[in-house]
Amino acid sequence: MVKSLFSSFLLVFSLTINSFSIREYENFYSTDGAEVIETLKKLDEKYWLMESKAKHSLFNFSQRSVFFIENRQIYVTEIEKNLRAFGGLRKENQTFKLNYENKEVEFTFNKKTGKFSFNEPVYGNLSLQLQLKFDLTSDSLPLSKEYLFLDKGKIKTKKFLSDFNNEEDESFPSYKISEIRDDDKEYYLWFKEDDFLTTFKIFNDFGPRTATWRLVESMPSEE
């Protein structure tokens, strides 16, 4: 689920077999009754902004993440998530602000506010997708790795398995990233084997419903 925005600033990081280039972009995804726009843009010489907006027949969901990158490692400074579902019967509003000097996260989750400490890199949905790409090195696959994830005022652990995509429904080489979960829900990401490891498909399992988001259009920014 994503949309992409501009492309004037380009950072290239060499992986063992493929090279991953992060650039500004705007991606459009769709599934039955829904669409997502995901954008990535450079705010200045240090910070990046990644945003995603989803419109579905059952919900509207938006999220944004501000971060910087050092040595292929993403460091998130701000996260915001907003969900409105079932005609407003379910609402969630979340924010996180990270202070790297005192290693502290300040959060809001609906009416709840608080602070807690962190020591290792933490992520939201968007920044984690990018970190999975930085960590993808072709000669080390399959790769299993855990990540710390910010959600609902807490730090959770997510585990992913990255490997070559052996499915025969694509005409180009790609990678499949699978979330390893304790329940019976499933979550998958597929990255195209190109310079940008473009996310071309995402599978979400919502319990009674599932959704497969497919990339419709990808637009790099133009000066």
Residue 47 in this model has a pLDDT that exceeds 70: yes
Residue 2 located in a structural domain:
no
Residue 69 located in a structural domain:
yes
Residue 151 located in a structural domain:
yes
pLDDT digits (tens, 9 = 90+) for 79-89: 999 999 877 78
Residue 5 in this model has a pLDDT that exceeds 60: no
CA dihedral (171, 175, 177, 178) positive or negative: positive
How many angstroms separate the first and last alpha carbons of the chain? 26
Residue 4 located in a structural domain:
no
CA–CA separation, 175 and 3 (whole Å): 19
The DSSP output letter for 8 is S
Task: Retrieve residue 159's tokens.
Answer: 């585990």
Residue 190: half-sphere exposure toward Cβ, Cα within 13 Å? 19
Residue 26 located in a structural domain:
yes
* Integer-rounded Cα radius of gyration of the chain: 17
Write down the pLDDT at residue 19. Answer: 60
CA–CA separation, 123 and 112 (whole Å): 20
Residue 1 located in a structural domain:
no
Write down the pLDDT at residue 222. Answer: 57
Residue 39 located in a structural domain:
yes
Give the DSSP letter string of 92-157: EEEEEEEETTTTEEEEEETTEEEEEE--S-EE-HHHHHHHHHHT--GGG-SEEEEEEEEETTEEEE
Residue-number span of the structural domain to which 182 is assigned: 10-220
CA–CA separation, 115 and 176 (whole Å): 35
CA–CA separation, 21 and 84 (whole Å): 34
Domain count, the chain: 1
Question: Which residues lie below 8 Å from residue 186, measured CB to CB, with a gap of 6+?
Answer: 178, 179, 203, 205, 210
Residue 65 located in a structural domain:
yes
pLDDT digits (tens, 9 = 90+) for 154-212: 999 999 999 999 988 888 999 999 999 999 999 999 999 999 999 999 998 877 788 89
Contact 62, 93 (CB under 8 A): no
